[in-house]
Amino acid sequence: MPKPPATAKQPIASTKTKSSRGAKPAPAAAHSAEVGASGVPTSGVPTVEGFKQAILRHLVSTLARVPQAATPHDWWVATSLAVRDSLHERLIATQDRYIKDNVRRLYYLSMEYLVGRLFESNLYATGLADVARTALAELGVDYTQTLDAELDMGLGNGGLGRLAACFFDSLATLDYPAIGYGMYYEFGLFRQEFVDAHQVEHPDRWRVFGSPWEVLHSDYAQEIPLYGRVENHFDDRGHSTPRWVDTKTILGLPHDIAVAGYGTRTVNLLRLWSSHAPDDFDLAAFNEGSYAEASRKKQAGESISKVLYPNDKTENGKALRLVQQYFFVACSLRDILRRHFRDPRNSWANFADKAAIQLNDTHPAIAVVELMRLMLDEHGLGWDEAWALTTLTLSYTNHTLLPEALETWGVPLFERLLPRHLQLIYEINRRLMQHCVAHWPQDLEKQRTCSIFEENGAKSVRMANLAVVGSHTVNGVAALHTELLKRELFPEFAELYPGKFQNKTNGITPRRWLLQCNPRLAAFITRTLGHGDWVRDLDRLRELEAHAAQPDVQREFLAIKRANKAELADIIARDCSGLCVSPDALFDVQIKRLHEYKRQHLNLLHILALYRRLLQNPQLDLVPRVFIFAAKAAPGYDLAKNIIRAINLVAARINADERIGGKLKVAFLPNYRVSLAEKIIPAADLSEQISTAGKEASGTGNMKLALNGALTIGTLDGANVEIEEAVGAENCFIFGMTVDEVAALRARGYYPRSVYDADEELRALVDWIGSDFFTPGEHAAFAPLHHSLLGGGDPFMVLPDFRAYSDAQQKVEACYRDSTQWAHKALLNVARVGRFSSDRTIREYARDIWRLPAVPMA
Ligand SMILES: *Cc1c(COP(=O)(O)O)cnc(C)c1O
């Protein structure tokens, strides 16, 4: 057997500036074709000439276009398809190997994958980045225009979905066999526009023209039952078995997206389900003249995977959302069982050896019940065996402590949609309650807290309790969050199941969030360290520490940051109605979903404070700042939308005020998404991570920004705690109440008015927000915001943290004036945040939760 070409080690840190690494010795043939294990010809990395031919071939044969008439979108599709050729060869080889070796696999169930664009990440992963750049240049095609033709794959709301995407990058890079299951939404998260400072939502029709990354496998379609009722069927000896009958059927079709590792030949899969009516076209109804009825049925079938719910961290009990959860879980579990039993070596006896199933939050928690149902009702296992297999296989990640984010579903809704599942939940709960009574015979309160059923008010199913009970391991996503999970949210379960709870601090992929988004800094690091090994081993950034005090290194770092800021300034001018900002100002960045607990309104109060200080003293020597926001609000979250409007209108006023000499600018970039984050983060000086202590589970934006040399101003919340530990207290700006201080203040009784009364400046700022100053002719435009701060009780304690925040901002300012000191601190941040690579996170999951061996592709 011929050896595969030696392309396992990919070129490192390819840059957007001209790179000498791009010029590789050209092999004689366009492809060094060989035959792989599956009989599929495998190619090495194509030459520039070969890649050009592949692009042109796809342009003509797939798109029916001549180059002269091709649009940027055509070039993007044709080039993507040429990249996909390499990807799919590796995908087949990887899957062949997994099948042959009957490997243990991770199955990751997630309702969201916030992938962003795939063009560049696939170029880097296949080692084609330089080849593609040169090939497109030789074809006379603009590279940036080509990649900007791609719409983000925005199948997620925020941090949770982006975490899933980072995890899949790391899983493939570290050669772990994994399949990600989810939903192939027709509409991703809405596209945001500002009209008259209001957020306006537009549908995100991201795949209306199809996606070059997707492959549909209709032979793996699944039929999923829904609704109906349960009847008891008696056999001839009087034994009864429950039967779920009179169900409706939904068809699930799998759309596969290849996910390639960096510097390895492993390619894993995201398998995303779309829903359809079982008969695409109801001929009987058509013949009776009910074409409309037939197409209505078809639409009802498709509606399940139509839209991503745009709510981040709130659940509103909508029936369609429960149907979505059940639908994608049911499709995925059937697919897992199909794969397992396809191999004659497998049986139920080794099921838990071959499958680890991770629940990303409670969204797929119905898997506990559906897996039980499949084993009991369709495979004839007994309860004890089925329960043992279920709890050996499943594990659950908790992502939030916010009570409004904990999913519950009304029992009547369950009864109507999933009557058999409800029966099984009752049985699971009966056994759980036996366990609780044995453990706390006297303590009814503890028993009630553990129950899967919430009995106060309308009876409902608590999905978090179901997930905890049905999993062998429950993990939090940062050290502090896991402590609070055990201490505050699930103290009874932590006592009932010692050892079940673990911490797995989140991480981010350094491929997308440094190598790809910040090519200048990536090339500089590679040059300074003398190697690019940091891309696969982020702890190696530690070697930068030895250079952080060198003046030339600091100068170069600042020059890179300035160049990135100049690029962002152009984007701000384009997307914020011509707003002109200076790349020499401090870029102060808060980018994340708009949520009260994240406290964009605390940032706004500080902006108003600086503006007011300047108005009262125009000579005030302030460091010029650009405040940069990007954030989407859930469409039904009125207060969040009011905060967006307030920031936009304050921005308009400040940006137009010539009296302050351009010292302050406020830019709210519309339509926050992965590809925009990739442009903002490399240009950030200051990273705003200012949530109320105890509310942000981890955060990952904090990690991306620190990795790109922004200093953090933040509370002791989520992973900020660990970031401070890693970079050193002197290299970030920690302020505000701790979790314990928040709890103590709450226990004493918190009255925002007493803080307001005691701080003259704060009082003026809150009153300013309540006035019509920023909205001449429109009365009380910010009344919801004003009310939440004062009359509404300031639930996220913005006012008591304001003074500490303002003081910390003055320290930021003093530090920024000394650019040497600033560069030194920023470099130390970059050098010391290697532990926040999702590679580290995934290794820990694989070792401690999944017991998952890596399977390197030779
Ligand atoms: C990283 C990321 C998030 C999460 O940001 P946090 O600051 O951790 O809330 C949300 N959305 C996008 C597009 C991201 O890239």
Average pLDDT over every residue of 626-632: 98
Distance 692 CA to ligand 1 centre (A): 17
Tell me, what's the pLDDT at 11?
A: 38
Average pLDDT over every residue of 98-127: 98
pLDDT digits (tens, 9 = 90+) for 769-801: 999 999 999 999 999 999 999 999 999 999 999
240 has a pLDDT exceeding 60: yes
- Which of 49-53, 252-256, 289-293, 398-402 has the weakest average pLDDT? 289-293
Let me know: does 169 contact 262? Beta carbons within 8 Å. yes
- Which of 44-48, 261-265, 367-371, 514-518 has the weakest average pLDDT? 44-48
Confidence of residue 288 (pLDDT cuts 50, 70, 90): low
Tell me, what's the pLDDT at 610?
A: 98
Average pLDDT over every residue of 551-571: 98
Distance 592 CA to ligand 1 centre (A): 5
Rounded CA separation 359/368 (Å): 10
Confidence of residue 246 (pLDDT cuts 50, 70, 90): very high
Which atom belonging to ligand 1 lies closest to the Cα atom of 704? 1
Average pLDDT over every residue of 620-627: 98
Tell me, what's the pLDDT at 4?
A: 38
Distance 680 CA to ligand 1 centre (A): 12
Nearest to 350 by CA among 358, 340, 342: 340
131 has a pLDDT exceeding 90: yes
**Pocket, ligand 1, Cβ cutoff 6 A:** 114, 158-159, 162, 592-593, 672-674, 677, 699-701, 704
190 has a pLDDT exceeding 60: yes
Closest residue (by CA) to atom 3 of ligand 1? 159
Rounded CA separation 202/744 (Å): 43
Q: How far is CA 175 from CA 168, 213, 421, 683, in A?
A: 11, 21, 36, 32
Where would I find the beta strands (DSSP E) of 312-451?
355-360, 394-397, 408-410
Tell me, what's the pLDDT at 540?
A: 98
569 has a pLDDT exceeding 60: yes
Distance 158 CA to ligand 1 centre (A): 5
807 has a pLDDT exceeding 50: yes
Work out the percent of the chain whose per-residue pLDDT is above 70: 93
552 has a pLDDT exceeding 90: yes
Distance 159 CA to ligand 1 centre (A): 5
Closest residue (by CA) to atom 11 of ligand 1? 158
Mean pLDDT of the residues in the chain: 93
397 has a pLDDT exceeding 60: yes
Q: Is 228 exposed, middle or buried (0-12, 13-18, 19+ CB in 10 A)?
A: middle
pLDDT digits (tens, 9 = 90+) for 678-720: 999 999 999 999 999 999 999 999 999 999 999 999 999 999 9
**What are residue 273's DSSP bridge partners?**
183, 254
Tell me, what's the pLDDT at 32?
A: 41
42 has a pLDDT exceeding 60: no
Average pLDDT over every residue of 154-167: 98
Closest residue (by CA) to atom 8 of ligand 1? 699
Tell me, what's the pLDDT at 301?
A: 81
Best mutation site among 112, 113, 114 for ligand 1, i.e. most ligand atoms within 8 A of its Cβ?
A: 114
Domains of the chain, with CATH numbers? 1-6+17-101+125-149 (no CATH), 159-402+472-506+843-850 (3.40.50.2000), 527-836 (3.40.50.2000)
Which atom belonging to ligand 1 lies closest to the Cα atom of 673? 13
Under the phi-then-psi rule, with left for phi > 0, alpha for psi from -120 to 50, and beta for the rest, what region is 477? Answer: alpha
Let me know: does 173 contact 138? Beta carbons within 8 Å. no
Rounded CA separation 80/260 (Å): 14
Which atom belonging to ligand 1 lies closest to the Cα atom of 159? 4
Tell me, what's the pLDDT at 26?
A: 35
Which residues are the active-site residues?
399, 592-593, 598, 700, 704
39 has a pLDDT exceeding 90: no
